[in-house]
Chains A and B, each alone.
Chain A
Amino acid sequence: DQQVKQNSPSLSVQEGRISILNCDYTNSMFDYFLWYKKYPAEGPTFLISISSIKDKNEDGRFTVFLNKSAKHLSLHIVPSQPGDSAVYFCAAKRTGNTPLVFGKGTRLSVIA
């Protein structure tokens, strides 16, 4: 049973526009959420996170929104740049030092 779902395998966006990547989760015990970015032949790198006590966290061009009632989070990238082209993984965890549970990823292509 997949606890973290990224239902869009891929997304194409024009340079300068907004990219919105979505993630749904089923486990109501999750209280911390993270986004990772992965380039080919490299390991994933941490991008941004949000605690369940918040509904928004912003870091430069990246903003994560959390809707707990809908068990949904999204990553907004504004403006999108060609260097943002990568696979983005959503991850979630329960309270305490428990392992992360990852979604399957969404491949973002930013077209110049």
Chain B
Amino acid sequence: DAGITQSPRYKITETGRQVTLMCHQTWSHSYMFWYRQDLGHGLRLIYYSAAADITDKGEVPDGYVVSRSKTENFPLTLESATRSQTSVYFCASSDVRTYEQYFGPGTRLTVT
């Protein structure tokens, strides 16, 4: 199916564990983004990527690692999960010619 998908949709993990959230888009969009949504904070940018092998930090990058070896994939890794990383994570993509971002359905992550 065309679009942007995220997996898993729900994840429970323990403090200190590494967890990777996957994001895949089929539009060949140049730009991809990771956001977290927390009550009282709205959507905050974690990392973004302008193209394969090009990534930049956003507003809240600490504790996260990203990579982009292929245009269509943009995984987000929590190297050692903490309770403060409990959140809903959204991946988004956009074409270089437009500014509208298209969001995936989100991953709800709980760190116990």
- Chain A residues engaging chain B, CB cutoff 8 angstroms: 6, 32, 34, 36, 41-46, 49, 89, 93, 97, 99-105
Contacts and interface: CB of A to CB of B under 8 A. Distances in A.
Given A89-B42, A102-B42, A104-B41, A43 B103 contact: yes
Interface residues of B, number: 24
B100 interface: yes
8 contacts: A34-B99, A41-B106, A43-B92, A44-B90, A97-B99, A100-B99, A100-B101, A103-B42
A97 B42 contact: no
Contacts of A42: 105-106
A57 to B, nearest CB: 13
A104 B37 CA distance: 9
A105 B42 contact: yes
Contact of A46 (B50, B96, B102, B104): B102
B99 A32 contact: yes
Given A89-B42, A100-B101, A104-B41, A43 B106 contact: yes
Contacts of A41: 105-106
A99 B33 contact: yes
Contact of A97 (B40, B44, B96): B96
B65 interface: no
Given A41-B106, A97-B50, A99-B48, A89 B43 contact: yes
A53 to B, nearest CB: 14
Nearest to B33: A99
Nearest to B92: A43
Contacts of A49: 99-100
Contacts of A103: 42
